[in-house]
Amino acid sequence: MSGKNDSTLIIAGSGIAGISAAISARQAYPHINIIIISGDEKGFYNRIALDSFVTGKRSIEDLYFNKQSWLEDNRIGFIHSKIISIDPENHKLVTDDSKEYSYDKLILATGASPLLPPVDGIDNNRVYSLWTLQDATNLKETLSTCESVTILGGGVLGVEAALDFAAFGKQVTLIEKSSFLMPSQLTDDSSKLLFKILNQKNISVLTNSTVESIIKNGSSVKVKIENKNYVTCDIVTVVTGVAPNLKIAKNAGININRGIITDKYMATSAPDIFACGNCTEFENNLNLLWNPAMEQGICAGQNIFKLQKEYVQKKYSVHLKSLEISLSSIGNPLEINGNDTIINLDNTGENKAIKTLAISTEGIIKYAAFVNDTDGFYQIEKAVKNRLEIPVEIIKQNSLNAVIEYVNKIYEKNSSGWVCQMCGYTHEGENPPNVCCVCGVGKDQFLVT
Ligand SMILES: Cc1cc2nc3c(=O)[nH]c(=O)nc-3n(C[C@H](O)[C@H](O)[C@H](O)COP(=O)(O)OP(=O)(O)OC[C@H]3O[C@@H](n4cnc5c(N)ncnc54)[C@H](O)[C@@H]3O)c2cc1C
């Protein structure tokens, strides 16, 4: 069935998952009605560029994509409202302005929300999240008038914020409770290098540090760390992770666990309701990144009337989007075990860089992280994603360059790859794309890899 002309698809959410679902549903079913209902006033914006908006490198207009006009051209309706309840049996939903809508198919793309640590004073008005455009707008107003910022959370978003705020002239302290930075992406050694580079940029980094309380003291705040001293600063930014938005799905009786549970077609347990993006859980994985949200959105949109596209869980790379340091990683360092071969390139020269590969006994690269020099990462990423088997004789050379050369040789028949210098998105083809489909920058921001 290709969708009757008068069928209505409602998509909850206008992030990358919701917008990708709308685009693919329109392509697959040209005649249906498509309506996006979103809590975001003006719809889709480039969430991953919010840091650069906060520090004034991008204007608010730069955050909105040209996909916006695509929606109008493709007859996709937009309603700014929050869905508060769903009645799966009767195919109806209600929004926070008490309006009721009927749907034939519903796609939930409601994203995630920041997880605030249970710390005394976390709710005081000098503490800011950095997840939505509203968060970023609030933070931007204050940041321009303050001198010092303490950032809670040494994951990717915390490190990016620290680099951007320091480059913006702020005195930055970065606090991480585990023993090293970006523990989901880096090994001990590469994290130590990152630590050193941040220090060189005058960012004070405190690891093994759990914040106990945040006390407002006039126009400044005191951040108390367990068994340690206070850090005094003007404001605090919290980037300690996010969790899927589950409330409306849960209240509607849809199966949830940590996220809304979907099958490989992005279908939920409720008839005619699909889900995609940060709100979902697939094969026990939460997917809290941009690319899986986009891929899941494309699947959900195509599958609403005919199950035709399967989502396949992959390894996704993470890139630090900072002009200050180049850093890319793929795979989980916690999955490295004693049987894997570790190949390290530790360049101890002036521009010190560490590149690490972990290769399984089957010859598959399961993890890679390049810090302070990402040359060759694109090739490795390709090998990881394609599960390319590296021959034993290459692995035995214990040389990163030998592995990269081998990967190059295998893929040499393919055309060039391009990497977006802003967000790390990689594009295959003879020419770079006119516009990065992830962060929206122009083709001049792409470098050949
Ligand atoms: C500063 C920053 C940098 C980032 N950098 C990267 C990066 O480099 N790489 C990467 O992979 N990821 C990055 N991320 C994460 C990435 O942005 C998210 O994974 C991605 O945007 C999730 O998309 P989504 O569509 O699933 O959810 P969201 O973008 O969160 O969209 C959810 C949508 O649902 C709407 N909504 C929620 N509840 C309701 C409701 N009840 N009714 C109606 N609408 C509702 C919201 O208003 C919103 O429109 C970054 C995030 C931030 C904040």
Q: Where are the beta strands (DSSP E) in 331-381?
A: 341-347, 353-359, 365-371
d(CA 192, CA 176): 13
d(CA 161, CA 50): 10
Domain 127-238 sits in CATH at 3.50.50.60
Measured from the CB, is residue 153 less than 6 Å from ligand 1? no
Measured from the CB, is residue 8 less than 6 Å from ligand 1? no
Atom of ligand 1 nearest to the CA of 51: 1
Measured from the CB, is residue 18 less than 6 Å from ligand 1? yes
pLDDT by residue (tens digit) across 60-104?
988 887 655 777 888 999 999 999 999 999 999 999 999 999 999
pLDDT score recorded for residue 434: 78
pLDDT score recorded for residue 70: 73
Strand ordering across the sheet containing 280-282: 260-261, 280-282, 285-286
Tokens standing for 25? 């549903």
Atom of ligand 1 nearest to the CA of 279: 26
Measured from the CB, is residue 245 less than 6 Å from ligand 1? yes
Atom 32 in ligand 1: which residue has the minimum CA distance? 111
pLDDT score recorded for residue 363: 97
**What are the residue ranges spanned by the domains of the chain?**
8-48+55-113+242-303, 127-238, 317-448
Measured from the CB, is residue 291 less than 6 Å from ligand 1? yes
pLDDT score recorded for residue 283: 97
pLDDT score recorded for residue 422: 58
Q: What is the mean pLDDT of residues 145-160?
A: 97
- Between the CA of 369 and the centroid of ligand 1 the distance, in Å, is 25
pLDDT score recorded for residue 382: 86
pLDDT score recorded for residue 436: 75
For residues 13 and 112, the answer to whether their CB atoms sit within 8 Å is no
What lies within 8 Å, CB to CB, of 432 at 6+ separation is: 418, 443, 446, 448
Q: Which of 216-220, 315-319, 392-396 has the highest mean pLDDT?
A: 392-396
What lies within 8 Å, CB to CB, of 136 at 6+ separation is: 50, 53, 54, 130
Q: What is the mean pLDDT of residues 142-157?
A: 96
- Between the CA of 112 and the centroid of ligand 1 the distance, in Å, is 6
For residues 133 and 46, the answer to whether their CB atoms sit within 8 Å is no
pLDDT score recorded for residue 388: 93
- Between the CA of 295 and the centroid of ligand 1 the distance, in Å, is 14
Query: At the top level of CATH, which class does the domain 8-48+55-113+242-303 belong to?
Result: alpha beta
What lies within 8 Å, CB to CB, of 383 at 6+ separation is: 365, 390, 403, 407, 410
Report helix angle 400-411 to 377-385, nearest 10: 70
pLDDT score recorded for residue 427: 79
Measured from the CB, is residue 86 less than 6 Å from ligand 1? no
pLDDT score recorded for residue 416: 65
Measured from the CB, is residue 139 less than 6 Å from ligand 1? no
Mutate to test the pocket of ligand 1, among 159, 287, 288, 289 (most ligand atoms within 8 A of CB): 289
Domains 8-48+55-113+242-303 and 127-238 share a fold: yes
How far is residue 36 from each of residues 11, 87, 105, 128, 238, measured CA to CA in Å? 5, 18, 12, 28, 30
pLDDT score recorded for residue 411: 80
- Asked if pLDDT for residue 439 goes beyond 90, the answer is no
How many other C-beta atoms lie within 10 A of the C-beta of residue 348?
Answer: 7
- Between the CA of 200 and the centroid of ligand 1 the distance, in Å, is 32
Mutate to test the pocket of ligand 1, among 40, 47, 311 (most ligand atoms within 8 A of CB): 47
pLDDT score recorded for residue 418: 75
Stated length of the chain: 449
Atom 7 in ligand 1: which residue has the minimum CA distance? 48
SS3 content of the chain, % helix, strand, coil (to 5): 25, 30, 45
Q: What is the mean pLDDT of residues 334-357?
A: 88
pLDDT range class, residue 385, cuts 50, 70, 90: confident
pLDDT by residue (tens digit) across 388-412?
999 999 999 999 999 999 998 888 7
Backbone angles phi, psi at 210, to 5 degrees: -105, 125
pLDDT score recorded for residue 393: 96
pLDDT by residue (tens digit) across 25-68?
999 999 999 999 999 998 889 899 899 999 998 899 888 876 55
Give the fold, CATH level 3, of 317-448. Enolase-like; domain 1 (3.30.390)
Tokens standing for 42? 């003006």
Residue 319 three-state SS = strand
Cross-strand bridge partners of residue 10 = 35, 106
Atom of ligand 1 nearest to the CA of 40: 47
Element at 51 (helix H, strand E):
helix 50-54
Cross-strand bridge partners of residue 273 = 106
d(CA 351, CA 307): 51
Q: What is the mean pLDDT of residues 235-243?
A: 97
pLDDT range class, residue 236, cuts 50, 70, 90: very high
d(CA 95, CA 246): 16
Tokens standing for 215? 């006390």
- Asked if pLDDT for residue 228 goes beyond 90, the answer is no
> Taking all residues of the chain, what is their mean pLDDT, rounded to a whole number?
91
Cross-strand bridge partners of residue 359 = 341, 365
